[in-house]
Each structure stands twice: as C-alpha cells, then as structure tokens.
Amino acid sequence: MMSEVVHAFTAKIPVWRPYVTPVDPAQATEEQRDALKVTPSNTKVSDYVLVLAHDPESLTHRTPLFNAIMYGAGGLSRAERELGAIGASVVNRCIYCAAVHASRYNQLTKSTELVEEVFRAGADARLPAREQAIYDFAVKLSRCPPEAGAADVERLRAAGLSELEILDLVLAIAIFGWANRLMHTLGEPVAGSD
C-alpha cells in the first residue's frame, strides 16, 4: 500500500521514500561500506544514506562536513543553526528537512510558537527581532540567485550576532542549500505508520 505523500510543512517527522534504489549494504563495494561506516555491529543505515552511497566519494566528506557545521563546538547556538536550516528548507520547500529541523528547534527552545508562525506564513513569518534577522537572512541567502546583502548582515550585528556567529549561520544556511537539494529531489516525505 502506498502511504500518503506529505505536501504541507509539519513538525511531525515523516518517512522518507526514495525515488532511487538504495544501495544494498550486502552488495556494497568496500568504498561504499567505508563511506557508510557499516560495521558488523552497526548495519542499520537509513534509506537516504543508502541512496547517497551511490556516490561514496561525496558521502565520505559530506557527512563530517554536515556534522561539523551543525554540531561543532562554539559560535552560534544549536537552536539558531537549526533556524538557518529551517529558513533554507522553507525556500526550497523540503518538507522532510523542515520537519526534522523544526522538531529539533522546538526541542532545543522548549517552544513551538516560532515554528508554527514559520509554517503558517512561510518566507513572510513575523518573529522576535533576533530570530527575524536570522530567518530573513536565511531566506534571502537561499534564493536563486541569492538576495542577501550588506544591510542583512548589519541587521544580524545589530541583533547581537558576533562575526563568528554570522559565519556559523552562513555555513548552516549553505549546507541546507545542499541537503535540501538531495533530500527533496531524490525522494519524498510520506506520512508515518504510527
């Protein structure tokens, strides 16, 4: 039975159904297994990562890059990196990424208000000053061609962000320009079975 495809933004994490056949771990080449970090004790890998294993050279570097940008020590807070990810995911309409990172944002901030407003109003969401500066910058930098300018960076500074925090925000937004283009174009979100 085909589950229903999710078309609206939600903080409830859907299941990701690939359009491309995932690599079978049992048939994977040594390079693919290295990229997947498959070990005899850890064979559980998501379909998403198994799809990306078709290109092990990219996957090998992208996984630690993504983790360093989103979870590295110091600089911008975890929650505000997630807000950058949400802004990119709204522009690129990656329902799955938006759900995962909205859910993390809600957990980290112990609140659901911001995410509700973002999902209601999209790029036009009205937020508190610091969050507004971060979100608007994420939306503008994610467009094609990107629309962010010096005035947007001035707003981030005025909202209290340091140079390092702005750099971390740029990285979080940019890496979601990447992640959205994989997740949203190589598969689709379907409603979970629970």
Partner 1 sequence: MTTIENLLGADAGLATLLDQRRTIMELTEASGTAVLTPREPGGLPHGLRAAIALRAAAAVQDEELMAHYRARLEACPGGVSFATFAVPGTMPEDTRLAAILRHADLLTVEPRGATRDDIEGLKAADVTEPDIVRLAELCAFLAYQARLLMGLRLLRNA
- Give residues in contact with partner 1 (CB under 8 A): 19-21, 51-52, 54-55, 57-58, 60-62, 64-65, 68-69, 72, 74-75, 91-94, 141-142, 144-146, 148-150, 152-154, 157, 163-164, 166-168, 170-171, 173-175, 177-182, 184-186, 188
Supply the minimum distance, in Å, between the C-beta of residue 180 and partner 1. 6
* Cβ-proximal residues to 88 (8 Å cutoff; 6+ apart), any chain: 97, 138, 141, 142, 173, 176, 177, 180
Closest CB to partner 1 among residues 58, 112? 58
Supply the minimum distance, in Å, between the C-beta of residue 111 and partner 1. 27
Quick count: other Cβ atoms within 10 Å of Cβ 133? 22
* Cβ-proximal residues to 61 (8 Å cutoff; 6+ apart), any chain: none
Closest CB to partner 1 among residues 127, 153? 153
Closest CB to partner 1 among residues 109, 169? 169
What angle (nearest 5°) sits at the alpha carbon of residue 124, between those of residues 120 and 127? 80
Closest CB to partner 1 among residues 130, 155? 155
Supply the minimum distance, in Å, between the C-beta of residue 40 and partner 1. 25
Tokens 């498959």 correspond to: 38
CB-count burial class (<10 Å; 0-12, 13-18, 19+) for 2: exposed
